[in-house]
Structure formats: structure tokens, C-alpha cells
Amino acid sequence: MIAKLLPIFASLAVFASSQPTGNAVIDALSTVDNLKTLKSVLASEPFIALTQGAPFNGEFTVFAPSDDAFDRAGDLGKDNDLIKAILTYHVLPSNVPSSAITNKPVFVNTLSSDPKYVNLPNKAAQIAGAFKACDGVRIIDGTYVEGFQYPKVIKADIKVGKGVVHIIDKLMTLPQPISTILKANARYSTLLNLLNQTSSVAAVEGLAGTTLLAPSNAAFVNITNAPVKPSNESLVYVLTGHVVNGVSLLTSTVKTETYPTLNKDRPLSVEVKDGKIKANNAFIITPGILAKNGVVARVDKVLNTSR
């Protein structure tokens, strides 16, 4: 999805000189090694406005991709709105030092709120998270392909005004539409096929905030191998019981509670016990995948939604 961002940014950027620019954030980045590319991007039109005003006149956190991260990044095209959405996804409107990050993932809203790229309840900005792994702090972004690692903090706690900058080893990925996530992971091909067969994809992706409880292909064997294929009406009844509307069930914050699904006859009963999350007759397998309009949460079974 991304290859050679630098030539694109170079065509947009006005590379800042060693002289102060008068912009506190950009001038502060000038003093930090390994952030020359980010500084050049932010000093260019139309992106310089992103560092003016709130939250940069108060507390903030920037997860700053290193120069090497930009070198490894891919081609985002020349869509300035998309580039702005990506850049603002790296910013939190609060000061989060590395000491506040523990092994339990914590999720917060970023500054990325363009409705073309995020569709959460009450027009909320997109979510990102962080946790302390065995190899350091990892940032939970929209990474959605199995086997790909979350961005890692390689240098933490650089003070900039009332804010803090953490340098990361790769650009953060914007959360993608649910269909993109399912298509990229072969384990969900049956679920995607069934959603397409029942013309349900657009409806699920159009919800402002949702949790899709996603069984893998193996969980659907009883349905796909049934001697009599279920009708579309029956499939819709089952699939809608896997969609929680208006709530992103982030696995680190979910509580024991009952949530309504799109199948009004089949609410989702969630129980959190001994570090496990049970949803009706299935278990949620962590971690979930952040999506444009919520989260895709893998479950080990098709939920019991029989009539």
C-alpha cells in the first residue's frame, strides 16, 4: 500500500533551513536527530497548519516516525486529505509519557477525525492504543494483516513545550474499512463471502461505530458443508447477531455486560473472567483489529443465534 513516500513529500515540502521558523513544534523537531523528514513534511504547505493552535499550544503527544520509517514507507499518492488524516493519526491531545504505558493496552482518541477515514459514534476522532510489550512500547494502530507488527517506540519522552514526542520505527496505519480487513486475512474469507452473498457489507461499514465478531473459516464448516444450504434470510439472521452497533468492544476495556446486536432477537452477552472474554457461546481471541468504523474482534465459534 505504501512505497517511496519521500519523493511525494519532497514535491510538497518546503525544506526548512537551519534558521528558526517561529513554529515552536517544528523548531523543536529541528533539534532531534532522526526526524528531519517529519520536520520537512510538517513545515510544508498545506501541512504546516496542523502544528498551529490546539493541541500544540498545550499538552500533546506525537508518535513521530523516524527518517528510516519514512524511507521504508509506501506510496500514499498525492491526496492531501489522506496525508493529513495519517499525520493527525500520530497525534494525541494529551501528554502521555512512556511511564504511563503499561502491559495493559490503553486506547485514546487521536486527532484524526476526517469523516472520509473515520466513522465512529458522535463524530469522534479515530482511536489508537499503546501497551508495553516484552521488546518495548508498541502502538496499536490500524495494522490489519496477520504477521505484521505494530509500530514500536525506539526513543521515548522527548519534551517539546508542554507535550512529548516518542519516535517510532514505522508510520502508523489508518484503520481500514471492514471489508479491506477481511479481504486481507484469508481466515475470514468465508465470513466475507457470506456478507457479500447477503449484501451486508455496505450496511456494516455504514454503521457509525460497530464491533464485528468475526469467526474464522473453520468455524463456519457446519454452515458451508450443510447438506441443505441455508437461505439468505437465515444467513442474515445469523450474521446480524455478530454485529454490535454503536460500540467498539476493545478487548482491553470490554466489561461484563449485555449488548444489543443488529439481530434484535439475539443480544450479545459478554462475560470477562480470569483474563478471558466470553461472548455468548464463543470466546473473543485478542487482539482485535481497529477498523474505520470500529473493531473486528475474532471469535472461535459462530455465535449461537438459532431461532
Residue 2 clears pLDDT 80, i.e. is over it: no
Q: What is the pTM of this model?
A: 0.90
Residue 47 clears pLDDT 60, i.e. is over it: yes
pLDDT of residue 44: 87
Structure confidence by residue, pLDDT tens digits, 236-272: 999 999 999 988 888 777 889 999 999 999 999 999 9
pLDDT of residue 33: 86
What does the mean pLDDT of the chain come to?
89
CA separation for the pair 111, 50 (Å, rounded): 10
Q: Of 306, 307, 305, 298, which is closest to residue 217 (Cα–Cα)?
A: 298
CA separation for the pair 204, 191 (Å, rounded): 13
pLDDT of residue 8: 44
Q: Which domains, and CATH codes, for the chain?
A: 5-168 (2.30.180.10), 178-299 (2.30.180.10)
DSSP state of 23: -
Residue 31 clears pLDDT 90, i.e. is over it: no
C-alpha distances in Å from residue 270, one per residue of 37, 211, 214, 252, 279: 45, 13, 15, 13, 5
Q: Which residue has the higher pLDDT, 137 or 23?
A: 137
Q: Of 182, 294, 303, 181, which is closest to residue 247 (Cα–Cα)?
A: 294
Structure confidence by residue, pLDDT tens digits, 207-246: 999 999 999 999 999 888 989 989 999 999 999 999 999 8
CA separation for the pair 247, 215 (Å, rounded): 19
Structure confidence by residue, pLDDT tens digits, 80-115: 999 999 999 999 999 999 999 999 999 999 999 999
Asked if residues 138 and 111 have their Cβ atoms less than 8 Å apart, the reply is no
